[in-house]
A = this chain, B = another copy of it.
Amino acid sequence: MKPMSTKPAAAESDQALRLEQFLPYRLNVVGFLASRALGRIYGARFGIDIPQWRVIAQLGEFGRLTSRDIGELAQMHKTKVSRAVGELSTRGFVSRAANRADRRETFIALTPAGTRLYAQIAPLALAFQQRWIAGISGEEMRVFERVLSVLTERGRHLAGGSGDGQS
């Protein structure tokens, strides 16, 4: 890292833009790091990617869901849900069962193998989170999470969000 500055075009306004302090940039970087770190943990160990993990997590938490519900709960585009569920289904981790009351939608649920997988991954995920926030005081984390909630909620509406879509 040798900046090699010659003509800093910024710094004329009262408040200059510095990318490494710019909030959208920082949030995007930390979000990317989170995904990458977590993805490596159970990606290499279980052959699961992030969308698949989210599907499994929601099913492990709520039991039985439609694809639409999964998308809404896990903030995933419906095509991503469709593909993740398809892959998990062919691998035998989830089952699909038509809803007889509304035959457009399908109930997705964990199979026994899927439940075992969830029982393996969930503790790892929680342990990872613990290791990540170790040493940060409870009060600081409370403030952090409160602000994070505000930013998330506001971010959903700030630029006219359509609703879903996720990396």
Please list the residues of chain A having a beta carbon within 8 angstroms of any beta carbon in chain B. Answer: 1-10, 13, 15-20, 22-38, 40-41, 50, 54, 57-66, 69, 72-75, 107, 109-110, 115, 118-119, 122-123, 125-126, 128-129, 131-133, 135-136, 140-141, 143-148, 150-152, 154-156, 158-161, 165-167
Contacts and interface: CB of A to CB of B under 8 A. Distances in A.
Copies of this subunit: 2
Given A132-B158, A155-B132, A69 B23 contact: no
Majority secondary structure, A binding face: helix
A74 B17 CA distance: 14
Contacts of A141: 147
A130 to B, nearest CB: 9
B10 A155 contact: no
The residue in A9, A75, A145 that gathers the most chain B C-beta atoms within 10 A of its C-beta is: A9
A7 B129 CA distance: 25
Contact of A6 (B2, B63, B150): B63
